[in-house]
Amino acid sequence: MTSETITAAASGTWRLGDLTVHRIGFGAMRLTGSGAFDVGTPSDRERVIGVLRRAVELGVNHIDTASFYFSSLRSANELINRALGPYPDGLVITTKVGPGRDPSGAWYWATPDQLRGQVEENLRQLGRDHLDVVNLRLKGPGPIAEHFGALAELREAGLIRHLGISNARPEHLAEAQAVAPVVCVQNRYSIDSRRPEADAFLRTCGEQGVAFVPFFAIAGAGREDGASAAEHPEILAVAEAHGATPAQVRLAWTLQRGPHVLAIPGTGNPDHLTANLAAAALQLTPPELTTLDTLAPA
């Protein structure tokens, strides 16, 4: 399939509260290195800045990031600020709080009182006076009302426009919605790595008008380290039938899970960027979707 003239607009749109975004966006995790965000060789700074600018030129208006996406030489937020500030009208930047990293890179989980500092850190790095969407990244099962309530107070104060949750379960969504509106759920989800109950949760989000935003949609079981060299024969067969890449098939499958599903593939490679966006125009057939659905773990 060709990717020369295909832009993010081919994916259609969804509304995050009062913010309209194209359903295929851009994830910033890989901007800081070739592997996970805290390991690997840092990408060339000017090349990454060029990729970000090209993404916006090609219609991307939803960028996912976090202040804890940094390596010894790169910060995703500061790269976004450098590449795109002053920001164009209509660009939506989503970030995450909850996990944090000190200057040495050591991880911690924020208390409710520490969330304001994390929000302010994102504001400073991005050069914004408010954050469009903030996802509370959850550590695991357990109540979230105190943490989510702290973010709701910052929303009321005007520092945050909309709220979401990440690494969440259905009970988390219900608990959060009792505190403040939720515009998105960001969870690990791909053809071959989704939990059996994940499909039902995706449908629940759609029924409630909540965006479902998979991460690791291309990487699958590879997670932070990226897609593995070995690919499922079924995915390879679908890719060959369409003259597409396995990554494009994975993204097309993701987008066809529902009109409320958003994709946020990330890359520091300009060729991969255009290929990812081209997946928005790839329509898989019902039999192909059925075959790919069988790859979910039992």
Q: Which of 69, 87, 108, 189 is catalytic?
A: 69
Whether 189 sits among the annotated catalytic residues: the reply is no
Q: Compute φ and ψ for 263, nearest 5 degrees.
A: -110, 140
The catalytic site residues sit at: 69
